[in-house]
Structure 1
């Protein structure tokens, strides 16, 4: 509760500083049927308080807020797209940077955007480049909690020993892993997974995009396509092949080959305006079942629509068992 109280106080203070003509106060609570109460311009709001709001959390947050009668979600950080989806469901939002969308019909309307989250030194340390992303991915695909030696992890991820050591040091300082004697172990896979997905989609996905292609055949016949060795389906089709849950609507391919090799399928042709996206393969060797689940989960989260988020939740619950 101390952390939640700090988030609420910080959010209220920043909102108050930006809306100096509006009275904003934290109210005392006499029963604990919600995380907090605040009053804005004489209107009381029941608050649900979170540290981070990520795309994968949206469906459960919407259900929880509507079930509990919450009318203001307060968080340390809420992405812009997450804010938009929550507002569409009539849930008011406020973060600790002072960004908000708060509306009570004919009584109150406050909309503030563009305030940047100030990163702590630890959070800045987690802003890895692609080599660090590869190391994190390799750690997430480990079958047990023990982290191999720096040399072995460097070989597994295709990174240098120096990069691996830096990543391990940052993870340890941020509480993702811990030491026991000479060995290191993963402490919080769920948090590491969610933060890797967010970091990958936010800062490195676009750097890995190497081209596009267009369909020659109908995209409904995609399962008839035999991809060249060195290419695999990602996103919707990858997820479909894993669990058959969602009929693909968007298509992406991970490849270690030039995009032009796709003509061998006689189903696609390179086209910089095409709707099939190609990403450079960033892992070593063949992708494991666990690695595939993590990759497809990240792809679906990146699309940020209700259809893909539900498919991502299904993969997380069925294939990424450490997140339960």
Structure 2
């Protein structure tokens, strides 16, 4: 759905509920989409609006940055899932949702409408770049720009996928508008930040669930830093990975990646399976290179913090993005 269609659809549903009038026009700043003015009996409120088809973890950082930059910021979205509505309310981010939900705190006015179900998603035709196989390949491209110019056989080996998948994934990335040909043998990003956002969204829904190995518990006499990591492909992700990278976040949720089979993993780490355990264990899916000892790649740590979606995770994710991911 186009930007103007989302705005018109949203205002059509919201205006009667607010008992006001409203209008919009394109925004003068390229990073925003529209000026939206709501006319109330006690005065008008004009917003600097960003319009999104759907709110997912991968755009939370962008929304938060815009909210800091523009005092009259407003998010307009066709679809906002309940947990994100609650998060925006906590962060004080004004929003309008196309179904009629709204949160506005401005000019001593508080409006909260939170009673309409999220509009259901209509699945689009599958792009091979965002299947579980394609996401493995996309990850290798994102963590090392040199892979944009490597031969397809080497890229397939790094991603752990069959060679025949590579041209299909590259075609999918070009179709999505994320890659263009640089020369006969290489590619370049059109918008790497957007590629990262789309990878995180795909990782959350299509890849991460397939990697889950089970839950384990920490020994009562040890903290997570004392757990033996038996090889280079057993590494902390999520919150403990973030603590290793930033020394900023005290972990409450634990993610560990490994390529070991269950019996080997238990023997070497001394962790025991427990359906209520604190540690979620996932299969390693990347090639180890130039990473901080004991820590998954920063992009993967960042992704799991974004997926957490709580305020402290988002704050730490911003630190990791600025220190480690912008330079990728």
Q: 1:68 to 1:213 in 2, by over 3 A?
A: same
> In the alignment, does 2:253 pair up with 1:271?
no
C-alpha distance in structure 2 between counterparts of 1:128 and 1:163, whole Å? 12
- Assess if the C-alpha contact under 8 Å between 2:135 and 2:199 holds in 1: yes
- RMSD of aligned C-alpha atoms? 3.5
Q: 1:110 to 1:47 in 2, by over 3 A?
A: farther
Aligned-partner SS, 1:289:
coil
C-alpha distance in structure 1 between counterparts of 2:217 and 2:266, whole Å? 10
1:166 corresponds to which residue? Answer: 168
1:1-324 correspondence to structure 2 within 5 Å: 6-14=2-10, 16=12, 26-27=22-23, 35-39=34-38, 44=45, 46-51=47-52, 53-55=55-57, 57-58=59-60, 61-62=63-64, 64-65=66-67, 68-70=70-72, 72-75=74-77, 78-95=80-97, 97-98=98-99, 100-102=101-103, 109-111=112-114, 112-118=116-122, 124-125=126-127, 128-144=130-146, 146-187=148-189, 188-218=191-221, 221-229=223-231, 230-264=233-267, 267-283=270-286, 285-289=287-291, 292-322=297-327
C-alpha distance in structure 2 between counterparts of 1:321 and 1:37, whole Å? 32
- Assess if the C-alpha contact under 8 Å between 1:212 and 1:278 holds in 2: yes
Aligned-partner SS, 2:285:
coil
How many residues matched?
314
Aligned-partner SS, 2:75:
strand
C-alpha distance in structure 2 between counterparts of 1:84 and 1:92, whole Å? 11
C-alpha distance in structure 2 between counterparts of 1:91 and 1:39, whole Å? 17
Q: 1:17 to 1:300 in 2, by over 3 A?
A: closer
Q: TM-score, normalised by structure 2?
A: 0.79
- Assess if the C-alpha contact under 8 Å between 2:133 and 2:161 holds in 1: yes
Unaligned runs of 5+ in 2: none
C-alpha distance in structure 2 between counterparts of 1:149 and 1:308, whole Å? 37
C-alpha distance in structure 2 between counterparts of 1:193 and 1:178, whole Å? 16
Aligned-partner SS, 2:312:
helix
C-alpha distance in structure 1 between counterparts of 2:51 and 2:26, whole Å? 21
64-73 vs 162-171, which deviates more? 64-73
1:78-111 Cα deviation digits (max 9, x unpaired): 454332211223433224x536334579985533
C-alpha distance in structure 1 between counterparts of 2:279 and 2:149, whole Å? 36
How far did 1:118 drift? 4.1
- Assess if the C-alpha contact under 8 Å between 1:103 and 1:110 holds in 2: no
- Assess if the C-alpha contact under 8 Å between 1:236 and 1:300 holds in 2: yes
Aligned-partner SS, 2:288:
coil
- Assess if the C-alpha contact under 8 Å between 1:56 and 1:313 holds in 2: no
- Assess if the C-alpha contact under 8 Å between 2:35 and 2:47 holds in 1: yes
C-alpha distance in structure 1 between counterparts of 2:171 and 2:62, whole Å? 33
C-alpha distance in structure 1 between counterparts of 2:65 and 2:110, whole Å? 25
